[in-house]
Structure 1
């Protein structure tokens, strides 16, 4: 079985698509090396020269760098023409596109991973005319692939609804967290991260984006209840890269909203973008992690926090209940008062905190990249058996 993999994002390991393709390829290759059932597996990464030579490729996995233009046009041409053509030339049995950008036609059977359909579910995320044209293209291309992989049953339902494919054409295969996320204490490393971001001894953490679906307005409003009670002891740390411009339909002006409520400034702190290597310590040192998002295709941040032994308060919305199960404190996404009460409860009730900590660690251990790889290989077999 020879699988060609679109490796456009391979050299971007700290993007979601980059992490996915790297972790999946590594896990598939470990199976190939350790179990006879997978002995006939061949993997070839196909990537554009403009992104540089591929690095950290597992020994034995082949890679091909081909000429491709830069920018969005170059990316589209690579996805639509170059990748399927090269996959056919090398005799691949399946071409796997590990993000939502399958070609309209291909000499090789196509499998595409669609992590979510946010631009179709929430049209505000399509952007201008160029974005609408691009998402129209990839929506049409997804209808012609042999099979679609997605991260959750919620996303599967969304794909069936918004792309218009039959349910049997879509398989939900959960993601997993990197081995870097664990609860083992590293006092020196944690202290280094604490100094780097000037973190307090105790804090509640939000780590992620600031676009409107992340529902940060509800979290900020929740801290009007949390702050007077425990805000001095447990300030809210907002971590993540800020947008280029606040005050747009996609990015509400959160700093202005905090400034308008002067008391919030003493309980909410911004630390900006966080280096990927620092995230495990940031999770590990937090008293709790809060994920109030209204829409997530998977909600990896909640799972990362659980793997680090940090209790999670999350919105009961989209894929989050499916991913966290009974291991998180779930609240309605639009009820800031209830969200505030949940945060206070987990912060101050030691028994509840310990229970969620243990449940979260157990829940996170159910997800592994080995499991993801086995189920992905089963999809490949299913496609080839048709």
Structure 2
């Protein structure tokens, strides 16, 4: 049985996409290989953010761990590979956001970390990318051989399915103070998430429909202050005079997300750049019509099951939002196509593909 050394740094950050990926892949791999994990309970409390210890963990502790455990292959499920690995190394690159968006390089330590990552990635035996779009970015940015970079689509959890239990739906409505029909955005507030476009589109819709327009529910933890990478959506809503039409829920528990997706008139995802894009797929799996940007990996991942729109044209988004609430055939078609599309992306399939690539790397027999 293949013996895998697994970098478990992000197991300490289950609220992040990378943390969820690490946990799901680990759980699925553990049934198919002998997996040795460094991370989780071995990490000191509070050490999950970028700091000097993280650099030490990735570049010293993890390689030594793989050597001590006599693993066949080392696997880093995020963009944090060591500069030198004593074992064949496989690394997953979810996206190139830290390199493509300079606002994320906000400190000397981040710049140093990005420098180390840029030097380490080409040394990996094989590289996994979450999408063909990310694969193209990796090949172009890191100047690596196309043969080294493989696409392995992540999965979405089996908990994402249409919720029909009325008592459960009522409880979620009460918990987040929701009533009536609503559009839903669930995600972060990074500048690349393009929240301004979403609010501009909703303003156009409100001007057309007045109080007949469903409320716009914005779910997720709102930043307490702006930064080069983050926007304050509360301020943006006030500037547009939309306080009576936009409802902020704050942080949403994982177990409540399927209910929110299931109740929404449509899920809106105007992001400018995604390496994969979990939220719109989760919404699809729950039978929610999806409007998403025609940008980065989203057309590849969502296919024809979403209404894909120009992320720079709020009037197109307003028209799409009006369409899904007025054209019942359109909404129903998006629901049906979305549920089928989401079935393609499973963690079992992802783990099976990851394992095959780990075996290939181990078979090469050298770092």
* TM-score normalised by the chain length of structure 1: 0.89
1:185 maps to 2:161: no
1:72-104: per-residue Cα shift (whole Å, max 9, x none)? 111211111011111111110101011111000
| Equivalent in 38, 42, 49 of residue 34 of structure 2 | 42
CA positional deviation for 1:317: 0.2
Assess, with a 3 A threshold, how the Cα gap between structure 1 residues 12 and 365 changes in structure 2: closer, same or farther: same
Corresponding residue of 1:245? 225
Which whole-Å CA distance do the structure 1 matches of 2:180 and 2:25 have between them?
Answer: 36
Corresponding residue of 1:318? 296
Determine helix, strand or coil for the equivalent of 1:232: helix
CA positional deviation for 1:69: 10
Corresponding residue of 2:87? 108
Corresponding residue of 2:341? 363
Which whole-Å CA distance do the structure 1 matches of 2:329 and 2:44 have between them?
Answer: 51
Corresponding residue of 2:25? 24
Assess, with a 3 A threshold, how the Cα gap between structure 1 residues 108 and 231 changes in structure 2: closer, same or farther: farther
Which whole-Å CA distance do the structure 2 matches of 1:194 and 1:230 have between them?
Answer: 24
The 8 Å contact of residues 287 and 335 in structure 2, kept in 1 or not, is answered as yes
CA positional deviation for 1:258: 2.1
The 8 Å contact of residues 146 and 383 in structure 1, kept in 2 or not, is answered as yes
Which whole-Å CA distance do the structure 2 matches of 1:158 and 1:319 have between them?
Answer: 11
Which whole-Å CA distance do the structure 2 matches of 1:305 and 1:261 have between them?
Answer: 27
1:273-307: per-residue Cα shift (whole Å, max 9, x none)? 21222111111111110000000000111100000
Corresponding residue of 2:251? 273
| Equivalent in 292, 317, 340 of residue 318 of structure 2 | 340
1:92-143: per-residue Cα shift (whole Å, max 9, x none)? 0101011111000111111111100111111121212111111111111111
Structure 1 window deviating more from structure 2 (5-14 vs 134-143): it is 5-14
Corresponding residue of 1:38? none
The 8 Å contact of residues 204 and 290 in structure 1, kept in 2 or not, is answered as yes
| Equivalent in 102, 107, 123 of residue 123 of structure 1 | 102
1:53-75: per-residue Cα shift (whole Å, max 9, x none)? 9xxxxxxxxxxxxxx99971112
The 8 Å contact of residues 163 and 259 in structure 2, kept in 1 or not, is answered as no
CA positional deviation for 1:10: 1.7
The 8 Å contact of residues 50 and 69 in structure 1, kept in 2 or not, is answered as no
The 8 Å contact of residues 270 and 292 in structure 2, kept in 1 or not, is answered as yes
Which whole-Å CA distance do the structure 1 matches of 2:75 and 2:262 have between them?
Answer: 35
Corresponding residue of 1:61? none
Number of residue pairs matched by the alignment: 361
Determine helix, strand or coil for the equivalent of 1:358: helix
| Equivalent in 115, 138, 146 of residue 136 of structure 1 | 115
Structure with higher RCO (Cα < 8 A, 6+ apart): 2
Assess, with a 3 A threshold, how the Cα gap between structure 1 residues 143 and 19 changes in structure 2: closer, same or farther: same
Assess, with a 3 A threshold, how the Cα gap between structure 1 residues 276 and 119 changes in structure 2: closer, same or farther: same
Corresponding residue of 1:161? 140
1:372 maps to 2:328: no
CA positional deviation for 1:231: 5.7
1:299 maps to 2:260: no
1:187-223: per-residue Cα shift (whole Å, max 9, x none)? 2222111111101221000000111100111111101
The 8 Å contact of residues 289 and 334 in structure 2, kept in 1 or not, is answered as yes
Corresponding residue of 1:285? 263
Which whole-Å CA distance do the structure 1 matches of 2:41 and 2:98 have between them?
Answer: 29
Assess, with a 3 A threshold, how the Cα gap between structure 1 residues 254 and 184 changes in structure 2: closer, same or farther: closer
Give the gaps of 5 or more residues in structure 2.
none
The 8 Å contact of residues 218 and 249 in structure 2, kept in 1 or not, is answered as yes
1:98 maps to 2:77: yes
CA positional deviation for 1:228: 3.0
Corresponding residue of 1:65? none
- Across the aligned residues of Structure 1 and Structure 2, the Cα RMSD in angstroms comes to 1.8
